[in-house]
Amino acid sequence: MRATNVILSAVVATAIACMHNRSTGGDAEHGRLPENMYAGGADCGGRSAFRVAAYNADFFILRQPACTNYEKPFLYLIFGRDRALLFDTGAPTIDVATPVDTLIRQWLARRDQRSIDLVVAHSHAHGDHVAGDSQFVNRPATTVVGRDTASVRKFFGIVQWPTAPSTFDLGERVLDVIAIPGHQPASIALYDRRTGIMLTGDTFYPGRLYVRDTAAFARSINRLARFVRGHHVTHMLGAHVEQTSTPSVDYPIGTKDQPNEHRLDLAPAQFFELDSAVQSMRGRFRRLALRDVTIWPQTP
């Protein structure tokens, strides 16, 4: 645990030192994406802890190591003045509470603040994004949002699901919450107005975009594309990387060691390309490899 803390401190210090040198453009709060968040291979090699990177002092990216689960999902921890939000809790089986608590403790220490509430929410309800929930259920000052659509709707106050977004304020940090069912019924995207980052879960990431409900997916992608066109979106960050750095080529399902993987972040232009491809299928979905993502319809 001590080793983890040392690594986290070093990463955070480096990122904060760099954050004033990098611009994301527009009025967005500056930050820096990691060049690489390599998740390691099948062998933990004595280091089974989450990889952690600071986008800036209030926005953190965590990645589950491959040796604990081939899905190696990405999680996000975002701080506002009044509360922090953890977006997803990972796949089985790993300690996620310790790195999250460490980041929160370090954040509080930097601000000379005693405590901050934590909200644990999910990009969607699949098992590789909610497995760590139980580690937060009895944590003080913590709310774990339910995984079903009704709970998500209620918590975020989405009156017209899925057509109208709602907002959720962490305290001087407003997130737009956009329902995007299709990959899974309770899928949501989060848009962070401060950094301009859009978190897209399994609906949009460099890899296989599994489509369970094709009609809902097509509408969600189109609705999200309209939102992206109307906002300053700096980066679109999803929950996995399965693509290689070679265009249109993905790693086989179950691959743990991905030394030449695609970078995590995608841009609005790549999302518009997905929207065009999805809409041109006119409801007749087929597997299609675009440059950075693969549309992958699944039969129910």
Binding site for Zn ion (CB under 5 A): 126, 128, 202
Task: Tell me the C-alpha distance between 30 and 128, whole Å.
Answer: 30
Neighbours of 109 (CB within 10 A): 9
Cβ 254 to Zn ion, closest distance in Å? 13
Torsion angle of C-alpha atoms 100, 6, 55, 173, degrees rounded to 10: 40
Output 15 or 190, the one with its CB closest to Zn ion: 190
- In this structure, are residues 165 and 158 in contact, taking their beta carbons and an 8 Å threshold? yes
C-beta closer to Zn ion: residue 128 or 133: 128
Nearer to Zn ion, 183 or 235 (CB): 183
Q: Could you identify the residue written with the tokens 């790195």?
A: 99
Structure tokens at 179: 């329902």
**Smallest gap from residue 204 Cβ to Zn ion (A):** 12
Q: Minimum Å distance from CB 298 to Zn ion? A: 11
Which tokens hold the place of 31? 């930050």
Q: How far is the CB of 220 from Zn ion (least distance, A)?
A: 14
Enumerate residues 6+ apart whose C-beta is below 8 A from 265: 33, 235, 236, 237
Neighbours of 29 (CB within 10 A): 20
Q: Considering beta carbons, is residue 51 or 83 the nearer one to Zn ion?
A: 51
For the bound state, the minimum distance from the C-beta of residue 183 to Zn ion, rounded and expressed in Å, comes to 6
CB closer to Zn ion, 8 vs 293: 293
